[in-house]
Amino acid sequence: MHHFFYHDGHMFCEEVLVSSIAESVGTPFYLYSHATLKHHFITFNKAVSDVPHLICFSAKSNSNLAILKLFASLGSGLDIVSGGELYRGLKVGIPPHKIVYSGVGKREDEIEFALKSSILMFNIESFQELEAVNRCAKRLKTRAQIALRVNPDIDPRTHPYISTGLKKNKFGICMNEAKEAYQAARRLSHIKIIGVDCHIGSQVLDVEPFMDAFKRLKRLIEDLQSTGIEIRYLDLGGGLGITYDHELPPHPNEYGKAILKTVGDIPVTLIFEPGRVIVGNAGILVTRVLYVKIGEKKNFIIVDAGMNDLIRPALYDAYHAINPVKKDKDATFIADVVGPICESSDFLAKDRRLPRVEPGDLLAVMSAGAYSFTMASNYNSRPRVPEVMVKKDQFYVIRKREDYEDLIAGESIPEFL
């Protein structure tokens, strides 16, 4: 469910004309629906309400302060992968005891920042990281609460770049090494074991891979508890997919039933790290047509948004539906939608049947709420675009458009030049 719709041929976000926002803030820009964000969070939370749980929204999917603040007001914690994401979470008032720190490359300064902030736990990804966390905790005269991220070698049947639960992936500790790793953690003086963690991938469209992974985790917890290692938390990660094109992902209720069936009877608190399923379809990227180029073999719609604004199509060959902001043309043609970046990979869509647009027309790149602005860059010295949130009949700029001065902030020219 989302709140982007047409009325009399005009696209609305909730009660606001998308075209009126474009006239006010310029293009391109990201646009989020407050009602959609709230509805998706509440729906997911309700789907897992039959088990003791904590939702830790995945900051990497969308880390805008306004969005994090909204989820914090709904009781969310945060799944972070950097010191910067921790800073953002604390800035909006997310309680540290609801923050889990994932990621394979935690620096010691980031680890110390998290320890000083008293986060819930670190999801440890390797033996050397375990030693680093212990070393930092010893230096600060504290104990670090940890879970080990276990790699269950489950094929999530998703794009290889967003698969994380196979043996060949860089994430986690292999299942057959997990018991040894837990015993090693047990021997460290400044480590406190409190959980088990797993994340098999992103944009997963079937509950079966989840169920297979959860069954393996359940056996591991039973084995650990038989050796006297108490597990209080089972972090099941995120990964539930959304509809970009014609996909039919499981509803959160189906996912919740799978949880109950596989690990619902374990006496632990379950941690969920949803990201895309909450924010993906709650946002769009609005862009303006600059030129239309008719070629012998290819037609091109050249727009003012590029791969620096939305890199998913170039990076994953990801599909995003593209719709006109105003439906006033019956004629269609097949074209690539491309941006102004000097790379052949700078495209938002390929061989797409679209209305015969003209310069100045607005297009909406749909399902752009997750892994979109957070992956934006200043490539080609392009200022990053603004982010806007609509609530009912009002819109709010929640991140201003960068200007040229922002591009060079922090740079300096040595005196010898």
- 342 tagged catalytic: yes
d(CA 283, CA 242): 13
Amino acid at 354: L
Query: Dihedral (C-alpha) 349, 350, 355, 361: value to the nearest 10 degrees?
Result: 40
Amino acid at 81: V
Can you tell me which residue has the tokens 């593209």? 322
Phi and psi at residue 334, to the nearest 5°? -100, 130
Of 334, 341, 274, the C-alpha closest to 314 is 341
d(CA 164, CA 364): 31
Give the SS3 label for residue 263: helix
Amino acid at 381: S
Question: Does residue 28 have a cis bond before it (omega within 30 degrees)?
Answer: yes
Q: Are 366 and 389 in contact (CB under 8 A)?
A: no
Strand extents, DSSP E, 93-181: 99-101, 121-124, 144-151, 173-174
Can you tell me which residue has the tokens 């959860």? 214
Q: Which of 13, 174, 198, 342 is catalytic?
A: 342
d(CA 320, CA 276): 14
What are the residue numbers of the active site?
A: 342
